[in-house]
Amino acid sequence: MKLIIPLLGLDFKKEDFLLENGFMQAYNYDINRPYLDNHIFLLYESTVTNESIERDLRFKSIPSFFNRLDVYINDTLFICYTFVITNKVIKDIKSNTNTIPEKGLLRIYKFWDFTDDEINHLMFDNTYLINHQFEQTTVPEWDYKEDYILTYDEKAQALV
């Protein structure tokens, strides 16, 4: 997933993917919405900070942005951002073609700025992609929350 994140859009920042900024995990499959089979899912803690507000606005402006949902997992509120896979290189990575074009590699290297050991290893070891197969990661199942529908009397009472 570290290879895929920089290829989703140009407006991501490395800081967006730090645990201290609420980032939990990136996924390529959502058990809750299996029909979204050409998407990447980013899960964040639901906290309101200046950074989270700025991140939210930036993520929503990325062309591959699909939607943002507030979801409960084990009674904890999270934000799940969904992005459509529009980059062919991401599809190649997911299908284990074991090659990434130079332009894609440069974008990945520039994004991580030599700060990630796995990415650094990839840069210096041509067999890394061959030896590492892409693994499916699944968004945890959301808690069931029953929709609350107001009755006619409750609506009338709320208006009073």
% of the chain surpassing 90 pLDDT: 60
Model confidence band, residue 160 (pLDDT cutoffs 50, 70, 90): low
Is the predicted pLDDT of residue 79 greater than 70, yes or no? Answer: yes
pTM of the model as a whole: 0.84
Q: Who has greater pLDDT, 107 or 121?
A: 107
- Do 76 and 109 touch, CB atoms closer than 8 A? no
DSSP code for 15? G
40-63 tens-digit pLDDT: 999 999 999 999 999 999 999 999
Contacts of residue 135, Cβ cutoff 8 Å, sequence gap at least 6: none
Q: What ranges in the chain are assigned the alpha helix state H?
A: 5-8, 50-60, 88-94, 102-112, 117-124, 128-131, 152-159
CA distance 126 to 103: 16
Is the predicted pLDDT of residue 65 greater than 70, yes or no? Answer: yes
